[in-house]
Amino acid sequence: MSKGLILVFSAASGAGKSTIISELKKRRSNMIHSISATTRAPRGSEKNGVDYFFYSVEKFKELIDKGEFVEWALVHNNYYGTPRTFIDQQVEAGNIVVLDIDVQGKAQLDKIYPDAQGIFIEPPTWEELEKRLRSRGTDTDEAIAVRLANARKEQDYARFEGKYDFFVVNDNLDETVQKIDKIIEIVLR
């Protein structure tokens, strides 16, 4: 069996990345989501081992020291990291491993997996992004302000310094999913 593919999705939170990924997964049975670890608290109905592995800061730092993460970053004052073993096993099995990580994480990942493909999702406008973040109703005003400020920095970094292969503006969900599905088709050729 041929080796799989690592597909990295980055975006400002609220740009629609999670919805896009779950729509893509419905179309492709060999698409597997890498579950990240984080020190932030679970939101809403999020479950440990499904949405994230939720760890204390002490445990997270212990795992960093043991080299258990392919990449890790401090995002919005919380630690996030990608466990290494899972990715290696899934790529070996010929699957498409989807990583939902920030721009710093992508830069670290490139050092270990230079063939990973990067897709950066952009919101149609900053006003729309703020509207989407507020409508989630899960973050405080302060957290939203941090996310909006970071969103602009991340987008600039992705455009001018990051190694992203594709940029897709998420204006209409169906069209965005179709575009990305075509991108995957092309990359797999």
Residue 24 sits in the site that holds ligand 5GP (CB under 6 A): no
Query: How many angstroms separate the CA atoms of 170 and 19, rounded?
Result: 11
Cα torsion 74, 15, 103, 59 to 10°: value is: 30
Q: Which is nearer to ligand 5GP, 70 or 177 (CB)?
A: 70
Measured CA angle at 33 (ends 91, 153), to 5 deg: 105
d(CA 78, CA 16): 21
CA distance 28 to 45: 25
Q: Does 170 help bind ligand 5GP (rule: CB under 6 A)?
A: no
Q: Is 82 in the site for ligand 5GP (CB under 6 A)?
A: yes
Options 55-63, 69-77, 84-92, 161-169: segment touching ligand 5GP (CB under 6 A): 69-77
Strand residues in 56-174 grouped as ranges (E): 69-75, 78-83, 96-100, 117-122, 166-169
Q: Which of 7, 31, 75, 96 binds ligand 5GP (CB under 6 A)?
A: 75
DSSP state of 139: S
- Give the one residue of 32, 39, 98, 100 binding ligand 5GP; rule: CB under 6 A: 100
Interface with ligand 5GP (CB under 6 A), residue total 15
Beta-carbon neighbour count of residue 75 at 10 Å? 20
Can residue 20 be called a binding residue for ligand 5GP (CB under 6 A)? no
Nearer Cβ to ligand 5GP (4/105)? 105
**Taking contact as CB under 6 A, which single stretch among the options 75-83, 110-118, 119-127, 172-180 is the one that binds ligand 5GP?**
75-83
Q: Which stretches of the chain bind ligand 5GP, using CB under 6 A?
A: 13, 36, 40, 71, 73, 75-76, 80-82, 100-102, 104-105
